[in-house]
Amino acid sequence: MEPVRSAPLSVAAGSQSVILSGAGVPGSYKKMKLVAQGLALNLLMIGWAQASVEPVAVVGSARADLVTSQPLADFGGPAVVLTPLDGVSVSIPKQWIACDDPNNSKLSPAADTLSLAPKICTGPRSGGTMTFGAFDPEPLRTVAIYAGREPESPITEGMILRTPHSNFAALAANVCPFIEKPLVDAHATVKSCVLNRKAISGHSALVFNIVYTPPEGPVAQGELESWVIPSTHGIVDFNVVWPLIAKDKVTPMLEAVRNSLQVQ
């Protein structure tokens, strides 16, 4: 599989125009690709967890507005507010497991019966960009979230808002292969990788949606939302991963977690 499908994209930045193409991608977008590669390996771990307990093309819509209705939170039980990064907070169910000790001490984690923590937390514990991770250890519905920051990224909310939606396919063609490559190298199949602009935590953000099937087969098929959120301290990367087989069961909880995110 070719690592880059070169497709130029013009992103307006004030009076200047930055061309994003295979050889000329700014450092911030190159770093986004590295983050995506590390995340993709974590996705395989979640697929393995799903398959170990169990013998759709995704179409998004562009959103340029910043006002969205927030449904009532449905965490399925008590929730705890954590601070994964400075200026960032998120609420998760109390029975989840956090990959770092300070945040995990605020929870009342359920038993990690499948010993998933060493696998799912590999990325956050490796010192990379994605420094925070947490997951639901309940078998058949292993949901995970990850968060990290790119403080030197020049990507701004204005740049995202001024990017024509017609250019998103070209940007996805440039970045998606870096998400797909480690999955394909591990014999997974990527069904779709779609990029849109949506609102989250009062910000206009880029969001990649990826559907993939790991080597364990369709029963372990998973879906990822990878958010690129501008903030006053650089880009916040926020990712949510869930098994498609349990999507109906976990959707209310996922929406509650996503809608609880606060980014300054």
Strand order in the sheet with 132-135: 97-98, 132-135, 144-150, 234-243, 222-231, 203-213, 189-200
The answer to whether residue 124 is domain-embedded is yes
- At 9 the pLDDT is 23
Q: What is the pTM of this model?
A: 0.74
The answer to whether residue 2 is domain-embedded is no
The answer to whether residue 3 is domain-embedded is no
The answer to whether residue 4 is domain-embedded is no
- At 28 the pLDDT is 41
Q: Lowest-pLDDT range, 20-29, 67-76, 225-234?
A: 20-29
The residues, ordered by sequence, that sit 6+ positions from 18 with a Cβ below 8 Å of its Cβ are 10, 11, 26
C-alpha 240/C-alpha 177 separation (Å) is: 19
Which one is predicted more confidently, 77 or 191?
Answer: 191
- At 262 the pLDDT is 95
What total number of domains does the chain contain?
A: 1
Q: Lowest-pLDDT range, 10-24, 94-108, 165-179?
A: 10-24
Which residue segment(s) compose the domain that 28 sits in? 9-263
Q: Lowest-pLDDT range, 30-34, 96-100, 127-131, 168-172?
A: 30-34
Which one is predicted more confidently, 113 or 32?
Answer: 113
The answer to whether residue 186 is domain-embedded is yes
Tokens of 165: 């939606």
Q: In CATH, what number is assigned to the domain containing residue 74?
A: 3.40.1000.10
- pLDDT over threshold 60, residue 45: no
C-alpha 21/C-alpha 177 separation (Å) is: 13
